[in-house]
Amino acid sequence: MLTGAAMTTSSVTALFPTTIAGSLPKPAWLAAPNKLWAPWRLEGDELAEAKDDATLLALKLQEDAGIDIVGDGEQARQHFVHGFLEAVDGIDFKRRVEMGIRNNRYKAMCPTVVGELRLRSRVHAREARLARAHTTRKLKFTLPGPMTIVDTIADAHYGDRVKMAMAFAALLNEEARGLAADGVDVIQFDEPAFNVYMDDAAGWGIEALHRAIDGVSATSAVHICYGYGIPANIEWKATLGTEWRQYEKFFPALAKSRIDQVSLECINSHVPMSVLKLLDRKDVLIGVIDVATDTIETPQEVAAVIARAADYVPKEKIIPCTNCGMAPMHRDVAVKKLEALAQGAALARERLR
């Protein structure tokens, strides 16, 4: 494994620091491009080294584009949920069940929980430590949220979604503590299921997140979105009407929670900007880059979204971001979108300082 640069982190831009939601496209030599859950092209030591190389490349692409708070791009994971589950005992990956996930929005072949859940070892130490050693910028790392995990796995043991979610939250807490010790600055939990089970999100969904961040020194974030730009999600969004007001049902509870930051999509969505007022005192990661289209945003378009958000969120609380992960995109498109993100934030600083 490559080692290198200093472990210290530099300060970020005071106003409108930029970041990504999580995933970036994988190089074609690592996995088939433009696919979710794409199989690896290598195995064994060669695969491990290729994941390291891809992680370093993801960092470099973000730094060159001007992104302030960088991540590993989830290069060592096939999928944002199952990449964590692979290190968990009590799960049978050979016993796969076709499930309707996100309230039957689409189907997936999911592994099955067959016993008590335990971490065999640290899950993401290798890529987190590699990333920390090779960037002096603030480092963010993503984990799946407890509610989204239980919505993406079959249960043949616990018999209760809440009980199983809390068991996963305890494991996520172990990993989050380790990531903080590795020097990760921000740990983000991805919870797209919050948009589907709004009442539960305001209750045990947030309780599970609190369990996951208990005693964790890093800044905590939760990413809530309407999903990747895949056909099933695009078709679902078309049924939601002209205004997407799901956030109103659980944002007040999030505002009262111990989570530090909330990430959501804004550009080209039908989320009313006024709902941002409900996230009182939270840092808000404003999605200003649309991951459901290959059209490259202009800096002016990005700055305009930031300006609209600033009508409802204090400027110093706004962190421009991508709407969601960029894993299925063409890499050249993703890079241009990262550049637009950084340039748009710079333009917004000039206009709104």
Over 90: is that where the pLDDT of 290 sits? yes
Mean pLDDT of the 72-81 span:
94
* Digit-coded pLDDT (tens) for 195-233: 889 999 999 999 999 999 999 999 999 999 876 556 766
Q: CA dihedral in degrees (20, 25, 29, 30; nearest 10)?
A: 70
321 close to 263: Cβ distance less than 8 angstroms:
yes
| Threshold 0.75, pTM exceeds | yes
In one-letter notation, the amino acid at residue 257 is S
Q: In 3D, which of 175, 70, 78 has the Cα closest to residue 118? A: 175
* Digit-coded pLDDT (tens) for 304-324: 999 999 999 999 999 999 999
Q: In 3D, which of 315, 296, 295 has the Cα closest to residue 306? A: 315
What's residue 237's pLDDT?
Answer: 67
Over 60: is that where the pLDDT of 96 sits? yes
What's residue 232's pLDDT?
Answer: 65
Over 50: is that where the pLDDT of 6 sits? no
Mean pLDDT of the 279-286 span:
96
Local confidence band at 2 (pLDDT 50, 70, 90 cut-offs): very low
> Which is it for strands 138-144 and 186-190: parallel, antiparallel or unpaired?
parallel
Question: Where does 176-309 show beta strands of DSSP type E?
Answer: 186-190, 219-223, 261-265, 283-289
139 close to 186: Cβ distance less than 8 angstroms:
yes
